[in-house]
Structure 1
Amino acid sequence: MRARHKPWADDYLKENHELVELNPAENKGKWQQQISKDKPLHLEIGTGKGQFIEGMAAQYPTIHFIGIEVVKSIIVSAVEKVKDFQHSNVTLINEHAQDLSDLFGDNEIDEMYLNFSDPWPKNRHEKRRLTYHAFLEQYQRILKPNGELVLKTDNRGLFEYSLVSFSQFGCTLEEVTLDLHALEDPTNVMTEYEEKFSAKGQPIYRCRVKFPK
C-alpha cells in the first residue's frame, strides 16, 4: 500500500534534527565521533515506521542505531515512535541506500540489518534486490572485518536468492533458519511486517552472514 503523502514531512524532519541527520554525507568516516560517542554502530536499511529500530534501541542502550528510509511520509512515523520513547541512541536518515559509500566510510559499521526488503521478484529487476552482488560489495566495504549482516524476510524466493548470492560472494553463513519464530529467540525484535505475516502463520526466514576479509 502506497504511503499517504504528508506535505508537512519536510518541516517535521527539520524540526526533529536531534533525531534526523539532515546532512548525513558530512558524517562519512566520523559517525562514531559525531553521533554515537564511540558506541558500536548498527545500521538498518529500510527502517519503515520504526518498530524494529525503536525496539532494538530499547533492548541495547549501549549500541547506537542508524536507520535509513527513503520514503519521507514513512520515516516521519519512525521519528514519532522514537521520539515518544525518548531514545538517545537512534539516528534516522531520509536517504536512498543505493550508494552507502557516500554516507559511510570503510569499516565504520559493526552490524547491518535488512528487514523485509522489497523482493523485486521479476528477473529484470534483479539489480534492485538489496542482496544483489553490487550491494554486497558496499556492505563489505562499510562493515568492520568481523561485522555481521542479518537478513529477515517472509519471501522464500528472496531468501533463497540471497543465500546463493551470499555464498557466491564468499560470505560465511553463520545462521540459516526457515522458521524464526519456532526458535523462540528472546532477542528477536519484530518489525511491523513481521508481526503481520507471522500472525497469518507465514514462516519468517532469517540468516546471519559475515563477509570475506
Structure 2
Amino acid sequence: MRLRNKPWAKELIEANPQLIMTDPTDMINKWQSRFEKNQPIALEIGSGKGQFIIGMAQKYPDINFIGMEVQEAAIVLILQKQLELKLPNLQLLLANGRNLSEYFGEGEVDKLYLNFSDPWPKTRHEKRRLTYQSFLQQYQQVVKEKGFLQFKTDNQGLFEYSLTSLNNYGMKFDQVSLDLHSNDELMVDNVETEYEQKFTKKGQRIYYLNAQFD
C-alpha cells in the first residue's frame, strides 16, 4: 500500500546521512562500517513503517539490522523513530529490492527477512513476486553460505507459491507454519509487523517459513 507523499521527507532524509543511505552502490562489502560494532547483518526487504525492523534491533542488540524500503514516505517514518531511539545497530536503505546485488557483496548478509510482501496475484506479474527465482538468485548471492531467508504473509496463495518456488530452487526448510500465532515455540521469538497485528486481530492466519540456502 502506497502512502501519501510527505513534502518534508526528502529534507529529513538528506539531513541524516549517518542513519539512512540513498545511493548505496559504493557500499558493497562496506556495510559493517555503518555500525558501531562488527556483528552479523540481517536485512529486511520492504520495511514499511518499521515496526518489525525496529523491534528486532531492540530485541537483538548483537545483530546489525538494515531496513530496506522503496517508498520515501514510508522509510522516513522509520527515520523519525530512529532519531528518537538512536539504535546503534540499525541502518536504513532507501532503494529497490530488485537491485540487491548492486548494494551488497557476496555473502555480506547473514539473514534476510520478507514480511507481507505484495502478492502480485496475477500470473503475468509472477516475476514481481519477491520469492520468484530471479529474486532468490540475488538473495543467495548476498546471503552467506548456509544463511537463512525468513518469510511471513497473510496470503495463502503467495505462501503456497513461495513454498514451491523455494523448494524448486533447492532451499532447505528449517521451519514452516500454516498458523504462526498458534505455534507457541515460534511465537517466543516472533516480532510482529504492523500488517501482522492488523490481520491477526481480524482472525486471519499468518503463514511463516524459515529456509536455508544450500
TM-score by length of 1: 0.96
> Pairwise mapping of residues 84-123 of structure 1 onto structure 2 (< 5 A)?
84-123=84-123
Which moved further from structure 2: 17-26 or 58-67? 17-26
| CA root-mean-square deviation | 1.1
**Contact 1:25 1:102 (C-alpha < 8 Å) held by counterparts:** yes
In structure 2, how many angstroms separate the alpha carbons of the residues matched to 1:36 and 1:109? 17
In structure 1, how many angstroms separate the alpha carbons of the residues matched to 2:57 and 2:129? 27
Gaps of at least 5 residues in structure 2 are none
In structure 2, how many angstroms separate the alpha carbons of the residues matched to 1:159 and 1:36? 36
Q: Tell me whether 1:37 sits opposite 2:33 in the alignment.
A: no
* Aligned AA (1:46): G
Name the counterpart of 1:201: 203
Name the counterpart of 2:6: 6
Deviations 1:114-156 (A, max 9, x none): 0000000000000000000000000011011121000000000
How many residues are treated as equivalent by the alignment?
212
- The structural deviation recorded for 1:190 is 0.3
**Contact 1:66 1:90 (C-alpha < 8 Å) held by counterparts:** yes
- The structural deviation recorded for 1:34 is 4.3
In structure 1, how many angstroms separate the alpha carbons of the residues matched to 2:56 and 2:26? 25
Name the counterpart of 2:170: 170
In structure 1, how many angstroms separate the alpha carbons of the residues matched to 2:167 and 2:22? 36
Distance 1:36 1:99, change over 3 A: farther
Name the counterpart of 1:191: 193
In structure 1, how many angstroms separate the alpha carbons of the residues matched to 2:142 and 2:111? 10
Instruction: Give the secondary-structure state (helix, strand or coil) at the position aligned to 2:83.
Output: helix
* Aligned AA (2:204): Q
In structure 2, how many angstroms separate the alpha carbons of the residues matched to 1:9 and 1:195? 26
Which moved further from structure 2: 165-174 or 17-26? 17-26
* Aligned AA (2:195): Y
* Aligned-residue identity in percent: 50
Deviations 1:12-34 (A, max 9, x none): 10112221023312111121244
* Aligned AA (2:13): L
In structure 2, how many angstroms separate the alpha carbons of the residues matched to 1:118 and 1:207? 17
Q: Tell me whether 1:15 sits opposite 2:15 in the alignment.
A: yes
Instruction: Give the secondary-structure state (helix, strand or coil) at the position aligned to 2:166.
Output: helix
- The structural deviation recorded for 1:35 is 3.4
**Contact 1:51 1:81 (C-alpha < 8 Å) held by counterparts:** no
* Aligned AA (1:114): L
Which moved further from structure 2: 31-40 or 10-19? 31-40
In structure 2, how many angstroms separate the alpha carbons of the residues matched to 1:84 and 1:177? 35
* Aligned AA (2:175): E
Instruction: Give the secondary-structure state (helix, strand or coil) at the position aligned to 1:190.
Output: coil
TM-score by length of 2: 0.96
In structure 1, how many angstroms separate the alpha carbons of the residues matched to 2:19 and 2:97? 18
